[in-house]
């Protein structure tokens, strides 16, 4: 998962890009970059780390121009290294080009192998660089035509921002896996992964880019087109479950209200009679926990406190950091939990290790019973479209029953929302506009070589309580 931001037509473009990336920091914490255009050339700055640490006033002063694009990275393709930090910038026969990508290309390795066999030299491990090579090799006459030809060869998820000396181009893949929105700030156009970035800079939200849409902004204004054949929508449901910021409007719906409805639906499907209170795993579990409490009539309280000096444990790239981060991130409120039968609501269980630590923490703080409720279905399949679940072996639900998972995480009971309930909560009962492959195994770009089953031998081994 990554976050992208672009602005054109503003004298302080790089400063506003910095603010936009700050609002999107939850989407990636490994690296950040900004590329600015003054109409004559591109200037770039990329570093490992957080936006606020990287982009000091002296750095931003070196990025003049009235157009800029920015990127915060969380790696799904390519190692966590400066060479893979984005936006990627090149100079080729067509001029200067910079690209920022949110998503993941499922045929990138196949394309890269073919390009390298034909003499291409790659500077990074990122799947995004494949798009640059395809653009550079296109024989089409205009940049837009080159881009469309290049993208017609790739498969998977992409929301892209491309900056040249004279124009900014935004494009979204035909399935619409990853979000991208358009805004207006006086005479400037703004593009961002989420509306929260527009809110921070006080830009007006205009609309979401449609799946398969390309928007070109240059001195002639804004032009939108649909250069790709229409196909089934595949908006990522996990954006609403976990990744997006609660104050964003995503795929036309309030993320906060959707998560509350997930909690209400979860309470209807997985009630907990006799429980004393509902608590959340902060921060992403809070709206669902509030919804659960509303629907169940069980009081909501704060039983876990999150340290705001620690990042999101799910998107830390190394497993060792993720494990260590749980202890740094959360602490239990003994006065709330002692002697209580507690319903704890979280958004998902991926590997199970975090949930196990949280349940043990609650019991150590005096909770009499811990009933774990999850506002998404069991995550049984890897995501190839931009979320870090690269193999079934890492997914505890791929080969273990709910009862087995409950024993592993040491919860008294465990309950998930159903796939049908998830669809109802997001207003998509037929599930034909969202991608739910991580829950259902039904991929929109083929089976991707994924085995239909996982044996216990290939699955994570469950330790005893």
Between strands 253-254 and 249-250, the pairing is antiparallel
Q: What is the largest CA-CA distance in the chain?
A: 72
Both tokens of 262, joined, read 């997930």
The answer to whether 287 and 259 are in contact (CB under 8 A) is: yes
Indicate if 438 belongs to the active site. Answer: no
Residue 351, helix vs strand vs coil: coil
Spot the catalytic one: 2, 236, 383, 438.
Answer: 2
C-alpha distances (whole Å) from 293 to each of 59, 247, 299 are 47, 20, 6
Q: Distance between CA 57 and CA 400 in Å, rounded?
A: 51
Q: Distance between CA 397 and CA 31 in Å, rounded?
A: 31
Helix residue ranges, H only, 270-312: 286-296
Q: Distance between CA 156 and CA 158 in Å, rounded?
A: 7
Residue where the block lists tokens 């920022």: 100
Between strands 221-225 and 214-218, the pairing is antiparallel
Q: Distance between CA 123 and CA 115 in Å, rounded?
A: 13
Helix residue ranges, H only, 312-411: 319-329, 334-337, 353-364, 402-409
Contacts with 211 (C-beta within 8 Å, 6 or more apart), sequence order: 172, 173, 174, 175, 176, 231, 233, 235
Contacts with 267 (C-beta within 8 Å, 6 or more apart), sequence order: 291, 292, 293, 294, 295, 296, 373
Dihedral (C-alpha) 339, 341, 346, 348: value to the nearest 10 degrees? 120
CB-count burial class (<10 Å; 0-12, 13-18, 19+) for 419: middle
Active site members: 2
């Amino acid at each position: 998962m990554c976050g992208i931001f672009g602005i054109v037509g503003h004298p302080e473009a790089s400063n506003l890009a910095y603010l936009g990336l700050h609002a999107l920091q939850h989407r990636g914490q490994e690296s950040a970059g900004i590329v600015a255009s003054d109409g004559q050339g591109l200037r770039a700055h990329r570093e490992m780390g957080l936006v606020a640490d990287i982009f000091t006033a002296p750095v931003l002063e070196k990025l003049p121009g009235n157009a800029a694009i920015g990127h915060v990275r969380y790696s799904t393709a390519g190692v966590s290294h400066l060479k893979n930090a984005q936006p990627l910038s090149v100079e080729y026969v067509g001029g200067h080009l910079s690209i920022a990508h949110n998503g993941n290309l499922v045929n990138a390795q196949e394309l890269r192998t073919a390009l390298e066999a034909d003499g291409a030299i790659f500077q990074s491990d990122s799947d995004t660089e494949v798009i640059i090579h395809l653009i550079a090799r296109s024989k089409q006459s205009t940049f837009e035509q080159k881009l469309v030809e290049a993208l017609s060869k790739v498969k998977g998820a992409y929301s892209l921002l491309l900056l040249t000396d004279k124009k900014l181009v935004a494009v979204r893949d035909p399935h619409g896996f990853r979000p991208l929105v358009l805004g207006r700030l006086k005479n400037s156009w703004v593009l961002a992964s989420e509306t929260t970035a527009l809110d921070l800079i006080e830009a007006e939200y205009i609309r979401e880019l449609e799946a398969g849409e390309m928007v070109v902004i240059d001195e002639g204004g804004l032009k939108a087109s649909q250069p790709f054949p229409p196909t089934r929508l595949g908006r990522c449901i996990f954006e609403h479950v976990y990744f997006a910021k609660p104050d964003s409007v995503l795929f036309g719906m309030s993320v906060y209200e959707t998560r509350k409805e997930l909690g209400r639906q979860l309470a209807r499907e997985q009630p907990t009679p006799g429980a004393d209170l509902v608590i959340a795993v902060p921060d992403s579990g809070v709206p669902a926990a509030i919804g659960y409490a509303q629907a169940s009539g069980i009081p909501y309280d704060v039983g876990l406190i999150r340290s705001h000096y620690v990042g999101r444990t799910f998107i830390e790239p190394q497993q060792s950091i993720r494990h260590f981060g749980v202890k740094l991130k959360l602490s239990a409120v003994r006065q709330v939990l002692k002697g209580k039968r507690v319903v704890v609501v979280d958004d998902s269980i991926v590997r199970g290790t975090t949930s196990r630590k949280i349940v043990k923490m609650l019991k150590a703080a005096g909770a009499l019973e811990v009933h774990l409720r999850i506002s998404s279905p069991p995550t049984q399949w890897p995501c190839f479209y931009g979320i870090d679940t690269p193999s079934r072996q890492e997914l505890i639900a791929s080969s273990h029953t709910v009862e087995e998972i409950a024993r592993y995480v040491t919860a008294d009971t465990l309950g998930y929302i159903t796939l049908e309930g998830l669809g109802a909560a997001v207003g998509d009962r037929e599930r034909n506009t969202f991608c739910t492959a991580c829950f259902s195994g039904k991929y929109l770009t083929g089976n991707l070589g994924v085995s239909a089953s996982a044996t216990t031998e290939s699955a994570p081994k469950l330790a005893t309580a």
